[in-house]
Amino acid sequence: MLKRIAAAAPAVLVTAAVAAAQAVVALPAAAQPQDWRIGFQEPATESARAIQDFHDLLFVIIVGITVLVAGLLAYVIFRYRASRNPVPRDFTHNTLIEVLWTIVPVIILVIIAIPSFNLLYFLDRTQNPELTIEVTGQQFSWVYTYPDSGITLYSNMKQQDQLEEGEPYLLAVDEPMVVPIDTNVQLLVTASDVIHSFGVPSFGLKTDAVPGRTNETWFRADRTGTFYGQCSELCGANHAFMPIEIRVVEKDEFEQWVASRQTAAAASAPAMVAAAD
Amino acid sequence: MAHGPEAAAGAHGHGPAHGAHEHHDHKPSFFVRWFASTNHKDIGTLYLVFSVIAGLIGGLFSVIMRLELQDPGVQYLADGQQWNVFITAHGLIMVFFVVMPALIGGFGNWFVPLMIGAPDMAFPRMNNISFWLLVPAFGLLVASALVGDGAGTGWTVYPPLASIGQPGPSVDMGIFALHLAGASSILGSINFITTILNMRAPGMTLHRMPLFAWALLVTAFLLLLSVPVLGGAITMLLTDRNFGTGFFKPDLGGDPLLFQHLFWFFGHPEVYIMILPGFGIISEVLPVFARKPIFGYKAIAASSVVIAFLGLLVWAHHMFTTPSPTVVLVFFMMSSFLIGIPTGIKIFNWVATLWRGTIEFKTPLIFAAGFISQFTIGGITGIIVAIFPVDWQLHDTYFVVAHFHYTLMGGAVFAVFAGIYYWFPKITGRMMNEKLGKWSFALMYIGFNLTFLIQHTIGLDGMPRRVYEYPDVGNLVLYNRISTIGAFVLGLGILLTVINILRSVKRGPVAGPDPWKANTLEWFSTSPPPDNNFDVIPRVRSVEPMKDIRRQIAYQTGTGSEAPPAAETLVRG
């Protein structure tokens, strides 16, 4: 019986330790899995921050409930073992306690529900998109189109021999999506073959790319850097090989990037027309 | 209990051809007994053996998957398609060919008639076909993994991946496998409903029916409501694949999301189909080993009904990222929250059943306690993923894998093990080894939590599920290794129980009719029970007829002080 309690304890302790560590450890700023992290990736948007704060609140509640149930169970099993409590009682009802354990969960759920509805409507869509990017998932890469500037990026995963220093294999791509900081970016997500899902953990983003449908989502990144995500819906043999890389840059840097891309496109277009002739 | 198997054997005829035989030494041939069986106990045994074999095959798939994931590169598998075939086979086998046959076909068949004092199921021949549909279904599914490229769709078979994404016969074979398994389930549930509603012992009102029978009754209704929807969805998928229809094809005016709605209208009730019989087992085991009546009998029975009803109204919470209109999300978030309440009521009732009892540390009780602690975690992480905004972060990550393994492995499978240790003496007439059972539990409990607790962390860190390679960043490798080590400890624990079963079938100590001093009618018969189960059935006066009988005997022999509530009446069976 002690064995059972000993077996139950680590589960509870680890869960509690996760909460403690989340609160204490200062996380390095980056957007990929980090050493010794046991929580979410460092947020880079208001949405992700709100989601994570809400998750942390939930976490305290569910750890509390889990510890309560596990503790009660351990206590009951220890205290009322046959050798210590040889005469069992035979009660089968207790109205007060039954009402309590029905009402209290209802109250807890209401407390959880109210902020989650608020968050839901906040995350839904942006009122004022400043930049629109069309995201198309295909087996097994992403296509990003900037309709306002006529840029199209074909974003493929970098193979191991293409990687530059410090780039993580299976996350780095040859053509990352580039977006400016502090801008409401509207994403129109679809797919051309099977269902994919566009997920970037540090942005709090996850939207399925469904053929025949255009799903809208948005983000507003508040720091520069490189942010990684992965396809999050099973899409075939190379599902593990269609990562998402988003580079958030300063606004002027983004303008330059757009201009350089448009020049490059303009330079190659006459050549292509000539070749077609 | 004066009656024995010899006296009872004659009650069930085996056709006119056998009518002239001496009743008491009549034994059907091996073929007739196991292949043409109409006896619910033999069919239940077939289901149990089948699910153990399927479980070992499905478990083998998961061991290979965990081996593959212990390092970030590709070690054991050929390519991603093979990985996808493995996850598909693992999921479908565990759901349709392990958990359901064990809990519903196995324990349900064995113990629903015995618990309600019936001689057999209502439709014995239909019972037989229910089982024998499952065998070719399993054959088709396993063969689908070996033909061509295999079915690499995940157990959810979402089109268009399952239509244009997977040419070749494998997915079609998988669809036929599910058709057969579905037909088997529908026939089985009709049988359970009819049996439970019509064949209860005299005096056994619905409110005196054992909670396991209650759980099976609710499960059978859920099956009947949800499985035909799956059948329809996969039939449409089949015609989309082969006959040019466009139910799920956007270029022909169809919609892939229609399939997801239909699939999860089945798929979420399916979760409760797998866990409700487990709840039933726990509700039987706890009062026996706490030597105390179940706390809140009506609340537990009613909460099953409420869970089943709500379970039909939450399906779209599997589709929070598709996305749906916000008001729809709000509805499904609320309905998913509500399921937490009846589930919580059950857990508190179980703890209250143990409260001030006299707890005997037999293996079934230990597995039941392990079930409660693990299912609590699985249930409560369900609240986390039910919350739409947070689910956006967690959907399709390892967090979800951890969540549903806590409910289905830590929950349903631990309940199966509690059932095995509790009912083995009744099924075989022999006791299982307690020491081996406790070792098995310890290894399974440690191994299970080692495997799956860390997967919550892997998911929070952003690792998607259903990938066979992952980036070597952060501590993903370390976390995945911990998980793999846990899987081996868990596997070892399971093997100890398999060894225990094999040893005890022949060499375990003889159990006698009622080794646990249990409460329900299956313990009124011999171990194993005769063909017709009972020669006489006591009139049932409470939820615990066996306790009433023991009290009666103690009173009449002068060893007990307490008078029974009313005079015992025996009814000719």
Chain B: nearest CA to A131, how far in angstroms? 21
Could you tell me the strand order of the sheet in which A141-146 lies? A151-155, A141-146, A131-138, A185-191, A215-219
Residue B562: the pLDDT is 59
Q: Is the pLDDT at B113 greater than 60, yes or no? A: yes
Q: Helix or strand or coil: residue B200?
A: coil
- Provide the greatest CA pair distance for chain A: 98
The residue behind tokens 């709500």 is B310
* Interface predicted TM-score (ipTM): 0.87
Question: Which residues of chain A register pLDDT less than 50?
Answer: 1-29
Return the half-sphere exposure (C-beta side, CA atoms, 13 A cut-off) of residue A78.
12
Residue B299: the pLDDT is 95
Residue B404: the pLDDT is 96
Q: Is the pLDDT at B16 greater than 50, yes or no? A: no
* Residues paired with residue A188 on neighbouring β-strands, in sequence order: A134, A216
Pairwise pLDDT comparison (B570 vs B309), residue with the higher score:
B309
Query: Is position B568 annotated as part of the catalytic site?
Result: no
Residue B414: the pLDDT is 97
Cβ distance of B250 and A101 shorter than 8 Å: no
Residue A2: the pLDDT is 40
Q: CA-nearest residue of chain B to A72? A: B351
Rg (CA), chain B: 24
For residues B295 and B267, the answer to whether their CB atoms sit within 8 Å is no
Tell me what the mean pLDDT of segment B99-113 comes to. 97
Residues 6+ apart with CB under 8 A from B379: B340, B343, B344, B347, B407
Residues of A in contact with B376 (CB under 8 A): 65-66, 69-70
Of B240, B82, B90, B225, nearest to B175 by C-alpha is: B240
DSSP single-letter state for residue A164: P
- The encoded tokens of residue B234 equal 């996969």
Q: Is the pLDDT at B421 greater than 90, yes or no? A: yes
Whole-angstrom CA distances from B178 to A43, B235, B391, B492 are 42, 10, 29, 30
Residue B24: the pLDDT is 53
Mean pLDDT for chain B?
91
Give residues 40 to 99 of A whose Cβ lies within 8 Å of B. Answer: 40-41, 48, 50-52, 54-55, 58, 62, 65-66, 69-70, 72-73, 76-77, 80-82, 85-94, 97-98
For residues B9 and B530, the answer to whether their CB atoms sit within 8 Å is yes
State the best of B161, B317, B339, B371 to mutate against chain A, taking most chain A CBs within 10 Å: B161
B299-358, pLDDT tens digit by residue? 999 999 999 999 999 999 999 888 778 888 889 999 999 999 999 999 999 999 999 999
Amino acid at A195: I
Tell me what the mean pLDDT of segment B261-281 comes to. 96
Mean pLDDT for chain A?
85
Binned at pLDDT 50, 70 and 90, residue B13 comes out as: very low
Q: Is the pLDDT at B532 greater than 60, yes or no? A: yes
Give the whole-angstrom CA distance, residue B340 versus residue A240: 34
Q: What is the DSSP string of A52-103?
A: HHHHHHHHHHHHHHHHHHHHHHHHHHHHTBTTT--S-------HHHHHHHHH
Query: Is position B120 annotated as part of the catalytic site?
Result: yes
Q: What is the DSSP string of B12-57?
A: S---GGGTTS-STT----HHHHHHS---HHHHHHHHHHHHHHHHHH
Chain B: nearest CA to A185, how far in angstroms? 18
B147-164, pLDDT tens digit by residue? 988 999 999 999 999 999
State the best of B320, B335, B359, B384 to mutate against chain A, taking most chain A CBs within 10 Å: B359
Share above pLDDT 70 across residues of chain B, in percent, rounded to a whole number:
93
Whole-angstrom CA distances from B540 to B119, B201, B202, B280, B447 are 16, 7, 6, 20, 43
Pairwise pLDDT comparison (B162 vs B26), residue with the higher score:
B162
Q: Which of B3, B208, B292, B465 is catalytic?
A: B465
Whole-angstrom CA distances from B214 to B111, B267, B338 are 12, 22, 21
- Prior bond to B331 cis, omega within 30? no
B427-477, pLDDT tens digit by residue? 999 999 999 999 999 999 999 999 999 999 999 999 999 999 999 988 999
The residue behind tokens 């978030």 is B333
For residues A204 and A123, the answer to whether their CB atoms sit within 8 Å is yes
Q: Which of B318, B403, B456, B541 is catalytic?
A: B318
